[in-house]
Amino acid sequence: MLAFALYVFLPAGMATTFSAVVGLGAVALTLAGVRRRPPSRRMAWWMFAAGLTMWVAGDTIYASEAIITGGHTYPSWADACYLAAYPMLVVALFRLARFRRRRELAGLIDTAMSATGFGLVYWVFVIGPIVREPGMSLLTRLVSAAYPTCGVLLFAVAGPLLVQQGRRSPATWMLTFGSAATLIGNVGYTVIPPDGGLKDRLVFGAFLFAYFAFAGAALHPSGNMPDSRPADMQGWQRITVLTATTLLVPAVLFVEARGGTEQVDIQAIAVGAVVLFLLMLIRLSGFFATVQRQSEQLERLAMRDDLTGLANRRLFEQYLSQALRDGLVQVAVLDLNGFKEVNDTFGHATGDQLLIVVADRLREVMRGDDVVARMGGDEFALLVREVSPTAMSAIAERISASLRRPVDANGQQLLVSASVGTAGNESGEVSSDEVLRRADWAMYAAKRAGGGRHLRYTAELDAQATVRARAGAELRTALEQGQFHLVYQPIVELPGGRIVSVEALVRWTHPERGFVSPAEFVPIAEETGLIIELGEWILRQACARAVSWFAEFGDVAPQRISVNVSARQLAEPGFAGLVGAVLTETGLRPEQLVVELTETAVFDGGQALRTVELLHKRGVRIALDDFGTGHSSLTLLQTVPVDVLKVDKSFVDKVTMAGRHAVIATALIQVSDGLGLQAVAEGVETAEQAEELYRLGYRLAQGYHFGRPVAQPDFTREFAA
């Protein structure tokens, strides 16, 4: 402030001298500031100081000229010094402001467009008059044009900082204002006609300001840090800037025409227009490329499974359709066994982890051009081109093998297996839907046959499926029309043969086919889910029957009734509740009901095991049916609360044979006794078997020898015998 006040009152001739002195001070301050800068930014400040030094040199020459000769030559060595400063200043400022620049091509083109537009205006209105000025030497013209140009360049480096968004530090502000002042000074220097004192005063006043601003920027602590990166220009802002630049050309023409300039600079305007047009073209193609890229990205996202990164069903179907058009294709569909249990027991995070590991294993096994997809849930699919069905079976085996290795998911060691179905187009043209359906069918058949298997689609599978579908529909009708009834087989005491209990067994009399074995229709009822309704009917029927016998026969009536319950029923969370309700309804006491289940139903744990535990706690007795035929009969005895072991017929059949055949029946009665359980020998057909079983220690038996399953066993007769 003081310096400016002094400056205004100085005699005109002293302005330059004053400027030189202030400039020297500014250089000193800048150098003092440099040492406080981080090393990465020092170089730029050194260069800045060097540029300012050139200005001071210019000022000194200019001032001494005025003192010695009382006037100025133009151009002179002073001008050479002034102009020599600009390369250094521009580079220094560029380095200091570098962090603010957007690097992407779009930003560069925007900048180029603005620069071209501005350059055109600048050329037509500033440089044009200088070039056309009559009676100037070439050197004079060049120097005259160089001043405003250098000013514009310097400002062009700092200027964009003004229009960008984001916070600006005081140091940045000072750099920007300094370069703005330089621009004003330079334009003034060439444009204002020499008129003695006023021109110098104005021009050097601007430079004085620039000295102060630059020195301030060099000293201010905020000059240490790059400014926070400004937000990019908003779409509409860009469009406004771009539109404004493209409208510049007609605007320039208009102004020139209105101003009545005798010599319109057609060439410059034409070149500017062409360059602007080309830049706009590049810019627009960039826009289109971006839109294209984004839509491709979106498409990719829509075609991938989020969790595993595998192709999803849509993408798989696309590949499959294409591959079917191209040639031989083999497809495998696989479904994890026990995935639901993993989810239920360990939670979804573990389930997800398991799916990711499975996806990785599939990727490992497959070749690069095969397609691996997650079709949803725990179902995956593979597509292999140009291989034979036999080769595809080998691949399916490899997959099964790789999935059998234990999986570490969220710290849990899990054993998984998959049911795999394969199908292909080797026997003729098929649609992609049909190939997938066939592979699906084969997979379901593999699952039905027991998990962890691979099956290939055959036409018979379809035939079976049709039979199944028909049977499913028929079962429903049968239930609605009362084609089911129950029969009861006695369970007797050894050696006397008194009936202590009965097992309820369901029968289906088909209106045309007659008797249908439960071994045939119970599995279908399980698959279709009809077993839930059928099972409820059986349970209610059997309990009610037992109660009616108590009323009718009193002491002679069987003390208990056994009801077979399938895996699907036990897995139903409401099953224990249903049993409770039926007991209350019918008036049967819990300990009078025996629920017979097979090992496979509770093998996986989960809901089925919880149901069994609940029933047991309420006093319902639990029997393990067909005991000894499963994989882990003995292990189950540790986890499942069991009251009764029904020793399978296959062991009973052998008790009368010599030597080692009777060993298992012997062992099982020892296990049963040891654990305090009741053992029932199933399928006893002869008196010899009954005798031998009794000798081994069996006290309960069931079989044709004691009575076939009938609508109503003769309790009194058996007792009398």
Whichever of 321 and 600 has its CB closer to Mg ion, that residue is 600
Contact between 488 and 713 (Cβ < 8 Å) = yes
Select from ligand C2E, Mg ion, none the partner in contact with residue 538, using the beta carbon and a kind-dependent cut-off of 5 to 8 Å: ligand C2E
Q: Can residue 529 be called a binding residue for ligand C2E (CB under 6 A)?
A: no
Neighbours of 257 (CB within 10 A): 10
Stretch that binds ligand C2E, among 300-308, 338-346, 473-481, 701-709 (CB under 6 A): 701-709
Stretch that binds ligand C2E, among 18-26, 66-74, 553-561, 703-711 (CB under 6 A): 703-711
Indicate the angle between helix axes 235-259 and 266-302, nearest 10 degrees.
170
Q: Please report how many Cα atoms fall inside a 13 Å half-sphere around the Cα of residue 229, on the Cβ side.
A: 6
Q: Can residue 690 be called a binding residue for ligand C2E (CB under 6 A)?
A: no
Contact between 442 and 456 (Cβ < 8 Å) = yes
Contact between 483 and 537 (Cβ < 8 Å) = no
The 661-690 contact track toward Mg ion, x by CB under 5 A, reads ---------------------x--------
Whichever of 379 and 533 has its CB closer to ligand C2E, that residue is 533
Q: Can residue 378 be called a binding residue for Mg ion (CB under 5 A)?
A: no
Q: Can residue 709 be called a binding residue for ligand C2E (CB under 6 A)?
A: yes
Report the nearest approach of ligand C2E to the CB of residue 690 (Å).
Answer: 11
Q: What does the angle CA 14 – CA 15 – CA 19 come to, to the nearest 5 degrees?
A: 115
Give dist(CA 381, CA 373) in Å, integer: 5
Q: Is 10 helix (H, G, I), strand (E, B) or coil?
A: coil
Q: Can residue 626 be called a binding residue for ligand C2E (CB under 6 A)?
A: yes
Residues in 478-517 that interact with ligand C2E by CB under 6 A: 489, 504-506, 517
Select from Mg ion, ligand C2E, none the partner in contact with residue 422, using the beta carbon and a kind-dependent cut-off of 5 to 8 Å: none
Q: What does the angle CA 258 – CA 263 – CA 264 come to, to the nearest 5 degrees?
A: 60
Report the nearest approach of ligand C2E to the CB of residue 630 (Å).
Answer: 13
Q: Can residue 350 be called a binding residue for Mg ion (CB under 5 A)?
A: no
Contact between 633 and 597 (Cβ < 8 Å) = no
Query: Contacting Mg ion (CB under 5 A), which of 596, 599, 604, 692?
Result: 596
Q: Kind and range of the H or E element at 567?
A: helix 567-571
Query: Contacting ligand C2E (CB under 6 A), which of 266, 704, 714, 716?
Result: 704
Whichever of 400 and 564 has its CB closer to Mg ion, that residue is 564
Select from ligand C2E, Mg ion, none the partner in contact with residue 159, using the beta carbon and a kind-dependent cut-off of 5 to 8 Å: none
- β 484-493/700-702 pair status: antiparallel
Q: Can residue 564 be called a binding residue for ligand C2E (CB under 6 A)?
A: yes
Contact between 570 and 612 (Cβ < 8 Å) = yes
Report the nearest approach of ligand C2E to the CB of residue 317 (Å).
Answer: 39
Residues in 656-685 that interact with ligand C2E by CB under 6 A: 683-685
Whichever of 182 and 564 has its CB closer to Mg ion, that residue is 564
- For residue 75, say if its preceding peptide bond is cis, omega within 30 degrees of 0: yes
Among the listed residues 613, 620, 621, the one whose alpha carbon sits nearest the alpha carbon of residue 639: 613
Q: Can residue 625 be called a binding residue for ligand C2E (CB under 6 A)?
A: yes
Q: How far apart are the first and last CA of the chain?
A: 131
- Token pair for 218: 């060099």
Contact between 378 and 297 (Cβ < 8 Å) = no
- Token pair for 450: 């027991």
Among the listed residues 638, 655, 636, the one whose alpha carbon sits nearest the alpha carbon of residue 494: 655
Total of residues contacting ligand C2E (CB under 6 A)? 22
Whichever of 501 and 702 has its CB closer to ligand C2E, that residue is 702
- Token pair for 301: 């996202």
H helices present in 619-710, as ranges: 633-639, 649-652, 663-674, 687-696
Whichever of 56 and 602 has its CB closer to ligand C2E, that residue is 602
Select from ligand C2E, Mg ion, none the partner in contact with residue 505, using the beta carbon and a kind-dependent cut-off of 5 to 8 Å: ligand C2E
Select from ligand C2E, Mg ion, none the partner in contact with residue 492, using the beta carbon and a kind-dependent cut-off of 5 to 8 Å: none
Report the nearest approach of ligand C2E to the CB of residue 533 (Å).
Answer: 12
Select from Mg ion, ligand C2E, none the partner in contact with residue 611, using the beta carbon and a kind-dependent cut-off of 5 to 8 Å: none
Report the nearest approach of ligand C2E to the CB of residue 596 (Å).
Answer: 6
| Burial grade of 278 (CB within 10 A; 0-12, 13-18, 19 or more) | middle
Neighbours of 100 (CB within 10 A): 18
Q: Can residue 305 be called a binding residue for Mg ion (CB under 5 A)?
A: no
Point out which residues bind Mg ion (CB under 5 A).
564, 596, 625-626, 682
Point out which residues bind ligand C2E (CB under 6 A).
489, 504-506, 517-519, 522, 538, 564-566, 596, 625-626, 683-685, 702-704, 709
